[in-house]
Amino acid sequence: MIHIEKVINKRQLKSFITFPSNLFQNDPNWINPLNIERLEHFSKKNPADDHIEWQTWLAKKEGEVVGRISAQVDSLHRGLYGPDTGHFGMIDAVDDPEVFRLLFSAAENWLASKGARKITGPFSLNINQESGLLIDGFDTPPSAMMTHGKSYYSARVEQQGYTQGIDLLAYWMRLAELQFPPSLAKLMDHARKKVSIRCLNRKKFSEEMEVLRQIFNSAWQKNWGFVPFTEHEFAVMGDQLKFLVPDDMIFIAEIDSVPVAFIIGLPNINEAIADLNGRLFPLGWAKLLWRLKVSGVRTARVPLMGVKIEHQFSRIGPVIALLLIEALHAAFGKWNIEALEMSWILESNAGMRNILEKIGAIPYKRYRLYEKQL
How confident is the model over 223-267, as pLDDT tens digits?
Answer: 999 999 999 999 999 888 888 888 889 999 999 999 999 999 999
Q: Are residues 313 and 250 located together in one domain of the fold?
A: yes
Q: What is the pLDDT of residue 22?
A: 96
Tell me, yes or no, whether 57 lies in a domain: yes
Distance CA(260)–CA(265), nearest Å, equals 18
Q: Are residues 203 and 340 located together in one domain of the fold?
A: yes
Q: pTM here?
A: 0.95
Tell me, yes or no, whether 343 lies in a domain: yes
Domains held by the chain: number: 2
CATH number of the domain at 60, please. Answer: 3.40.630.30
Residue 147's nearest CA partner among 370, 368, 312 is 368
Tell me, yes or no, whether 17 lies in a domain: yes
Q: Count CB-CB contacts under 10 A for residue 289.
A: 12
Cα distances (Å, whole numbers) of residue 39 to 12, 15, 102, 130:
12, 11, 25, 15
Q: Are residues 147 and 254 located together in one domain of the fold?
A: no
Tell me, yes or no, whether 158 lies in a domain: yes
Tell me, yes or no, whether 337 lies in a domain: yes
The residue among 168, 192, 226 that closes a domain is: 168
The residue among 168, 184, 213 that closes a domain is: 168
Tell me, yes or no, whether 371 lies in a domain: no
Q: Are residues 199 and 344 located together in one domain of the fold?
A: yes
Q: Which amino acid is at 331?
A: A
Q: Are residues 271 and 337 located together in one domain of the fold?
A: yes
Q: What is the pLDDT of residue 243?
A: 80
Q: Are residues 90 and 201 located together in one domain of the fold?
A: no
β-pair type (339-346, 299-307): parallel
- Mean pLDDT score of the chain, rounded to an integer? 94
Beta strands in the chain (DSSP E): 2-6, 52-61, 64-74, 85-93, 118-121, 123-124, 130-131, 133-136, 163-174, 195-199, 250-255, 258-267, 299-307, 339-346, 362-373
Three-state DSSP class for residue 278: coil
DSSP string, 173-232: EEGGG----HHHHHHHHHHTTTEEEEE--GGGHHHHHHHHHHHHHHHTTTSTT--PPPHH
For the chain, the distance separating the N- and C-terminal CA atoms, rounded to the nearest angstrom, is: 26
Tell me, yes or no, whether 256 lies in a domain: yes
Q: Is the distance from CB of 90 to CB of 69 less than 8 angstroms?
A: yes
Tell me, yes or no, whether 51 lies in a domain: yes
Q: What is the pLDDT of residue 279?
A: 81
Could you tell me which residues come within 8 angstroms of residue 31 by beta carbon, excluding any fewer than 6 positions away?
141, 142, 148, 270, 273, 274
3-state helix, strand, coil in the chain (%, to 5): 40, 30, 30
Q: Are residues 86 and 159 located together in one domain of the fold?
A: yes
The residue among 168, 184, 205 that closes a domain is: 168
DSSP string, 112-143: HHTT--EEEE-EESSTTSEE-EEEE-TTSPPP
Distance CA(117)–CA(228), nearest Å, equals 22
Q: Are residues 339 and 361 located together in one domain of the fold?
A: yes
Q: Are residues 186 and 101 located together in one domain of the fold?
A: no
Q: How many residues does the chain have?
A: 374
The boundaries of the domain holding residue 302 are 173-366
Q: Are residues 100 and 216 located together in one domain of the fold?
A: no
Q: Are residues 239 and 133 located together in one domain of the fold?
A: no
| Residues lower than pLDDT 50 in the chain | none
Q: Count CB-CB contacts under 10 A for residue 11.
A: 9
Q: Are residues 212 and 342 located together in one domain of the fold?
A: yes
